[in-house]
Structure 1
Amino acid sequence: MPASPVFVVGMPRSGTTLFSAMLDAHADISIAPETHFFTKCDVANRSPSAEAKAEAIRFLQAESGVQDMHLSAEEWQQIRDAAGDAPADILRVLLQTYAARKAARVWGEKTPDHLAHIDTIRTHFPQAVFIAITRDPRDVYLSQQPMPWNRDTIIETAWTWRRYAEQIDTYRSALGGHFHDLRYEDLLRHPEDELRKVCSFLRLPFDPGMLSFHENAEDALSAEPWKKNTRRPVDPSNTQKWKDRLPPARRWVIQRVAREQMHDYGYPTPPVAFDTDFWSDAIALIAESLRIVIRRRARKHGWR
Structure 2
Amino acid sequence: MNFNFLMCSERSGSNLITQLLNSHPLVCAPATKHLINPVARNLFRYKDLSKTENWNALLTDIHTLLNADFSEWDTKFSLIDLEELTNIGEVNSLIRKIFESEAKKQNKSQLFIKENHLYEFMTFLLLNFPQSKFIYQTRDPRDMALSWRKNPSHPGGIIAAAKQWSKDQTKFLGDHYALSQIGRSHHLTYESLISKPEESIKAVLKFLGLEYSDNVFNFHNNDATVKNAAKQEAWSNLSKPIISNNCQKYSNELTSIEIGMIEKLCFFEMNALGYKTVNSKVELDKIADLSIDDLAIKESKIYKSTPSAGTVENIQAKKNFYLR
Q: Same fold (TM over 0.5)?
A: yes
Match for residue 37 of structure 2 among 31, 39, 57: 39
- Partner of 1:32: helix, strand, or coil? coil
Match for residue 58 of structure 2 among 56, 59, 79: 56
Does residue 1:167 correspond to 2:165, yes or no?
no
Residue of structure 2 equivalent to 1:142: 146
Residue of structure 2 equivalent to 1:113: 117
**Contact 1:79–1:93 under 8 Å retained in 2:** no
- Partner of 2:270: helix, strand, or coil? helix
Which whole-Å deviations, capped at 9, do the CAs of 1:194-238 have from their partners, x for residues lacking one? 111111111111111012211215247533122011111111100
Q: CA deviation at 1:242?
A: 0.4
Residue of structure 2 equivalent to 1:199: 205
**Contact 1:33–1:66 under 8 Å retained in 2:** no
In the TM superposition, what are the counterparts of 1:286-301 in structure 2 within 5 Å?
Answer: 286=294, 289-290=297-298, 292=300
**Contact 1:132–1:180 under 8 Å retained in 2:** yes
**Contact 1:23–1:29 under 8 Å retained in 2:** yes
Match for residue 279 of structure 2 among 271, 279, 288: 271
Residue of structure 1 equivalent to 2:28: 30
Tell me the TM-score normalized by structure 1. 0.82
Cα distance change of structure 1 residues 179 and 53 upon mapping to structure 2, 3 Å threshold: farther
Cα distance change of structure 1 residues 54 and 32 upon mapping to structure 2, 3 Å threshold: farther
Residue of structure 2 equivalent to 1:230: 238
- Partner of 2:183: helix, strand, or coil? helix
Q: Distance in 2 between matches of 1:148 and 1:61?
A: 27
Of stretches 234-243 and 4-13 in structure 1, the one that deviates more from structure 2 is 4-13
Tell me the TM-score normalized by structure 2. 0.78
- Partner of 1:255: helix, strand, or coil? helix
Residue of structure 1 equivalent to 2:6: 8
Task: In structure 2, give the amino acid aligned to 1:182.
Answer: L
Q: Distance in 2 between matches of 1:4 and 1:106?
A: 5
Q: Distance in 2 between matches of 1:130 and 1:52?
A: 32
Cα distance change of structure 1 residues 66 and 27 upon mapping to structure 2, 3 Å threshold: farther
Q: CA deviation at 1:265?
A: 2.1
**Contact 1:142–1:246 under 8 Å retained in 2:** yes
Task: In structure 1, give the amino acid aligned to 2:59.
Answer: I
Residue of structure 1 equivalent to 2:321: none
Q: Distance in 2 between matches of 1:122 and 1:217?
A: 33
Number of aligned residue pairs = 285
Cα distance change of structure 1 residues 251 and 56 upon mapping to structure 2, 3 Å threshold: same
Which whole-Å deviations, capped at 9, do the CAs of 1:75-125 have from their partners, x for residues lacking one? x64443232322333221110000001221101321122233212221222
In the TM superposition, what are the counterparts of 1:183-198 in structure 2 within 5 Å?
Answer: 183-198=189-204
Matched-pair identity in %: 21
Task: In structure 2, give the amino acid aligned to 1:83.
Answer: T
Tell me how large the CA RMSD over aligned residues is: 2.9
Cα distance change of structure 1 residues 24 and 166 upon mapping to structure 2, 3 Å threshold: same
Q: Distance in 2 between matches of 1:90 and 1:196?
A: 32
Which 5+ residue runs of structure 1 have no aligned equivalent? 273-278, 297-304
Cα distance change of structure 1 residues 73 and 141 upon mapping to structure 2, 3 Å threshold: closer
**Contact 1:151–1:292 under 8 Å retained in 2:** yes
Residue of structure 2 equivalent to 1:256: 264
Task: In structure 1, give the amino acid aligned to 2:17.
Answer: F
Q: Distance in 1 between matches of 2:107 and 2:3?
A: 15
Task: In structure 1, give the amino acid aligned to 2:190.
Answer: Y
Task: In structure 2, give the amino acid aligned to 1:102.
Answer: Q
